[in-house]
Structure 1
Amino acid sequence: MEGAPMLDTTTFVGLDVHARSIKAVSLDVMTGEVRCATFGYDAGAVAAWVRSVDPRARCVYESGVTGFDLQKRLSGLGVDCVVGAVSKMIKPSADRRKKNDRNDAEFLARMLSVGNVVEVWVPDDECEAARDLTRALEDARDDLSRSKQRLSKFLLRHGLVFDERTPTGRRKGNWTRAHWSWIESIRFAEGADNEVLAYYVEAVRRAAEEKSRLEGLVGAEARKPRWRRRVDSLRCLKGVDTATAADLVFEAGEFSRFRNARSFAAWVGLTPSEHSSGENDRRGAITKAGNKHLRKTLVEAAWHYLTCSGRPKDLAKGQAPDPAARRHAAKGVRRLVERREALLARGVHGNKANVATARELACWVWAVGLMAEEA
């Protein structure tokens, strides 16, 4: 959250965090004194130094690849530490031309001292582990897609393209039983090519097995009491299966932390950019500032509204959503289908219409998730 600095301290510490080192700079806003220190990745050493400077000091570091580990360790040692949203920190051009660890840490300390740090919500260990699980599933999907592409391109280089057809003349799809039978029947004159083919086939099968295994783990996690009601309620939206619903719930953590649907859509970067001045009101492409993982998930889910009907989605076996959330989801499905049809009728490009649908889907996700959360 962004606001005035804490009034019970006059010392603010910026931390420039790397995999093996941490640069710390403290700023006393009353005296203007600046101190700096360098550490290995050692939360205990950082905490001891911060306490020696001022036991009430407040610390900040940028969100990024180092995650929340340092924040949790420092908080456990009694140090007040927050993670600042890097996408919300705008450096003056002069500072960008003098980039080093000390300057970066001092910039963070000064931003925190004047209340210009937007704090990132820190998930607890269970929520973060659930997030990691769905992100691993996304990686497994990407690995499977790349493995299939490598196999297809290898065969194409040898002039081999699957072109079997049904009795009605329709081409059979790739990665079906018929396609696999065709692949398994291929024999090359050169032994090396046969070895390469075997390698690519095994890579696809191994990736498919890993994807299936992770889907099972995500499903098991989603059935835990903490998540189940929200996951089952979000599954009432078309285009949202168990894995997608789990993804949305695990990443959001708590839907109540967002003020409204608009702030949730902004968090995933699905709000339009704006370039307005005076009487000119100009809106552009989406900001893409925020959780790109969920943005991709929502954009993919939105494609379902191109062909689905506005009828409510039937419940799956064992699905137990909140009744009020289910009714609200039914309204959302109808609204999203009508919205997509209206956009296409106006001549809006298909991709642009899909992103607009994804943005509205994000709003319905927030509303349905919040209703289930508060039930």
Structure 2
Amino acid sequence: MKDDSTLYVGLDVHKDSITVAYAIGMSEVELLGKVGTTEAEVDRLCKRLQSKAGRVSVVYEAGPCGYGLHRNLVAKGLDCMMCAPSLIPRKPGERVKTDRRDAIKLVRSLRAGDLSAVHVPTVEDEAFRDLARAWSAAREDLKQARQRLKSFLLSHGVHYLGRANWGPAHRRWLSTFSFDSTWQQLAFNEHRRTIEDRLAQCERLEVALREAVVDWRFFPAVLALQTMRGIQFTSAVGLVSELGDLSRFEHPRQLMAWIGVTPSEHSSGAKRRQGSITKTGNSYARKLLVESAWSYRHPARVSIDIQRRHEGIPKAIIDRAWDAQLRLCRRYRKLVARGKSAHVAVIAVARELVGFIWDIGRLGMTLAVARSA
């Protein structure tokens, strides 16, 4: 029978089953058992939970099953949270892990307020992110295919005298080279064909991204980020698709921590010890960020390519991007002059770059809304 208490529910979700545990208010945690993952079985579960209390709060770990269950539960009126698995409290020395224990632990942690929620994107944002990740995966496949071909040539003592950077001269040399053995030539041709297929795939996906991004709600943020040095179209699309709505971060320090570029710390008493960056959160966004930060090791300037990306962008955004370039280039030089290694300096620049991305991305969305109003 319903009452005014809150029903806390923990779900241990797998592909074919969901283990359910619950507690009403501060009472003991009870195990409800296992249910299926079909829509009909989830509907029956929701009705059973809603019959026990007036307010139902559900939590489960983010995992490979996506956001479908979360959206389904929210649509049925349940308060649902996906939590970060790496931030769930764990007892030292705990050696037994079962679905039942995980579900009960989630109930207790939810009731204590010890869980960190994972941002759930909209259906449209998730679809665009999938397209951006497909392009990233294709680029990674292309990189691996090129490395396999280089390794194949090296293992047979074949050396290219120039720079093997896949430029026009390097590609012409590959197209004219041949092995004496028919079998080796066949393997060589297959390696080259794989590279050509991956190149074609990357081109198709990039064209699709350029066509789709125009209708995406974060298109103004993508345009605004491209005014910055080191952030071209693909980098801007990758960053915005992974970061999502920048307005959900009240301060740039929150975004820095989310990407994982803040220093780790182990302090006690009067001692304060900071170490390397935490590397928590989104690894792909962090990778794009660090790649962009390397461009600030050179003196500040506005190249022809950056000028082209400035066309049609409000002056306030362009001025902010120039401020970022001046500050970050100066920051890199100062750190190197103090004896810091290039890698340490670039990570420090990347951390400050996050603040400018947060500011310029939000500014781009704000100005776009003001124009449309």
- Determine whether 1:252 maps to 2:237: no
Question: Deviations for 1:56-88, whole angstroms, at most 9, x for unmatched residues?
Answer: 321111122222121012222333211112232
Q: Which residue pairs with 1:166 in the alignment?
A: none
Distance of aligned partners of 1:208 and 1:88 in 2 relative to their CA distance in 1, 3 Å threshold: same
Q: Which amino acid aligns with 2:322?
A: A
Q: Distance in 2 between matches of 1:251 and 1:109?
A: 29
Structure 1, unaligned runs of 5 or more: 1-6, 164-170
Q: Which residue pairs with 1:126 in the alignment?
A: 124
Q: Distance in 1 between matches of 2:159 and 2:228?
A: 38
Q: Distance in 2 between matches of 1:260 and 1:19?
A: 37
2:31–2:104: 8 Å Cα contact kept in structure 1?
no
1:28–1:34: 8 Å Cα contact kept in structure 2?
no
- Determine whether 1:349 maps to 2:341: yes
1:22–1:39: 8 Å Cα contact kept in structure 2?
yes
Q: Which residue pairs with 1:57 in the alignment?
A: 56
Q: Which moved more, 1:51-60 or 1:145-154?
A: 51-60
Q: 3-state DSSP class of the match of 1:136?
A: helix
2:247–2:362: 8 Å Cα contact kept in structure 1?
yes
Q: Which amino acid aligns with 1:13?
A: V
Q: 3-state DSSP class of the match of 1:316?
A: helix
Distance of aligned partners of 1:121 and 1:290 in 2 relative to their CA distance in 1, 3 Å threshold: same
1:9–1:58: 8 Å Cα contact kept in structure 2?
no
Q: Which residue pairs with 2:327 in the alignment?
A: 335
Q: Which residue pairs with 1:149 in the alignment?
A: 147
Q: 2:300 aligns with which of 305, 309, 312?
A: 309
Q: Which residue pairs with 1:168 in the alignment?
A: none
Aligned ranges for residues 51-130 of structure 1 at < 5 Å? 51-55=47-51, 56-94=55-93, 96-130=94-128
Q: Which residue pairs with 1:220 in the alignment?
A: 211
- Determine whether 1:24 maps to 2:20: yes
- Determine whether 1:187 maps to 2:186: no
Distance of aligned partners of 1:40 and 1:342 in 2 relative to their CA distance in 1, 3 Å threshold: same
1:14–1:108: 8 Å Cα contact kept in structure 2?
yes
How far 1:90 moved relative to its partner? 2.0
The number of residues matched between the two structures is: 361
Question: Deviations for 1:247-306, whole angstroms, at most 9, x for unmatched residues?
Answer: 222222211100101000100001000111111111110011111110011011111111
Q: Distance in 2 between matches of 1:251 and 1:239?
A: 17
- Determine whether 1:240 maps to 2:231: yes
Q: Distance in 2 between matches of 1:9 and 1:150?
A: 61
Percent identity of paired positions between Structure 1 and Structure 2: 34
Q: Which residue pairs with 1:374 in the alignment?
A: 366
Q: 3-state DSSP class of the match of 1:93?
A: coil
Q: Distance in 2 between matches of 1:122 and 1:93?
A: 30
How far 1:222 moved relative to its partner? 2.4
Q: Distance in 2 between matches of 1:352 and 1:111?
A: 37
Q: Which amino acid aligns with 2:7?
A: T
Question: Deviations for 1:2-57, whole angstroms, at most 9, x for unmatched residues?
Answer: xxxxx964211111112222211112234325132212322441342243133532
Q: 3-state DSSP class of the match of 1:300?
A: helix
Q: Which residue pairs with 2:370 in the alignment?
A: none
RMSD of aligned C-alpha atoms? 2.0
Q: What TM-score does the superposition give when structure 2 sets the normalisation length?
A: 0.91
2:261–2:277: 8 Å Cα contact kept in structure 1?
yes
How far 1:362 moved relative to its partner? 1.0
Q: Which moved more, 1:18-27 or 1:136-145?
A: 18-27
Q: Which moved more, 1:271-280 or 1:214-223?
A: 214-223
Distance of aligned partners of 1:215 and 1:9 in 2 relative to their CA distance in 1, 3 Å threshold: farther
Q: 3-state DSSP class of the match of 1:315?
A: helix
